[in-house]
Amino acid sequence: MRTLTIATERFPVRGAFTIARGAKTHVDVVTATISEGGRQGRGEATAVYYRGELAESVAAAAAAQADPIAGGASRADLLTLMPAGAARNALDCALWDLEAKQAGTSVRELLGLPPFRPLLTAYTISLDAPAAMAEAAAKVRARELIKVKLGGADGPAADIARMAAVRAAAPDARFVVDANEGWGGTDIARTAAALAALGVELIEQPVPAGDDGQLDGLHAEIPLCADESCHDRASLDQIIGRYRFINIKLDKAGGLTEAHALAHAARQRGLGVMTGCMLGTSLAIAPAFHIAVQSDYADLDGPLLIEDRDGGLKFEHSDVWPPAPALWG
């Protein structure tokens, strides 16, 4: 019989991670361990704050599935037993890990993916004053792809100044930016044009989720990417015609199972894909790697922004390496 164990762990943030909604000094993650026949599968999730989740609520929702898990509930069963979100992600990833171990294979092979290679990942610079962001950018100027948090309360003009300072400090890098819903009611086309001149390739979530109609008829020089506005396949109808990319996060989608299906559905509808992450350890990023290898952009730097768990992923130069079997999958 399968048994389920749920735990909550706290990991300090390196410095402070700051976005338009505030700063974090630590992250609480929820881990699920499913045991059967002497083998264990693990999954990790981080509460999606803009869904109203907390670590406590995620842990409780995951623990509530102990009886179905004991009864042999499958990943497909979880899609109907639970809504999308972090709790389902922890359980789904634990089941994938367990299934691969029981089958004597890897999750990569179960998904039919080709052999893995190291993958380029973005590295995130937190929202701050232009000078502070430039200083942060100078420290990572050798990185190939940098993600810049924008969406400050002082408006798009100040965000353009932030990006200009970052660009000057890291002149050879590629850039994507994340407005974190902060440009609602502003001239997004004008802001995009200014950012295009600074070499920005992609803009995440310029308007608040639910107010995506502001983007109807907008012609921006830089592709827009839906993050908070896209969680799972049910989100895609409101994306088409407004965004050209989606950001897939396993915590939003509710696990690798839905994330994999979402990536395929997005491609079928002509959307580009970024694979992102919440703040979390390498245990959370390992399954996300399986979606990132199918994506146009990877933003899997969560373990670099916190004090990661032992035995974590290898990061070298601008790349993240495939997970070792001892970690996950």
Q: Which residues are catalytic?
A: 149, 249
Cα Rg of the chain, angstroms: 19
Residue (of 277, 303, 282, 274) closest to 204 by Cα position = 274
- 3-state SS, the chain, equals CCEEEEEEEEEEEEEEEEECCEEEEEEEEEEEEEEECCEEEEEEEECCHHHCCCHHHHHHHHHCCHHHHHCCCCHHHHHHHCCCCHHHHHHHHHHHHHHHHHHCCCHHHHHCCCCCCCEECCEEECCCCHHHHHHHHHHCCCCCEEEEECCCCCCHHHHHHHHHHHHHHCCCCEEEEECCCCCCCCCHHHHHHHHHHCCEEEEECCCCCCCHHHHCCCCCCCCEEECCCCCCHHHHHHCCCCCCEEEECHHHHCCHHHHHHHHHHHHHCCCEEEECCCCCCHHHHHHHHHHHCCCCEECCCHHHCECCCCCCCCEECCEECCCCCCCCC
Distances (CA, A) of 92 to 97, 103, 150: 9, 16, 32
Both structure tokens of 187? 């001239």
The whole-angstrom separation of Cα 305 and Cα 14 is 5
Residue (of 68, 86, 74) closest to 30 by Cα position = 86
Both structure tokens of 9? 């762990």
Tell me which amino acid residue 204 is. Answer: E
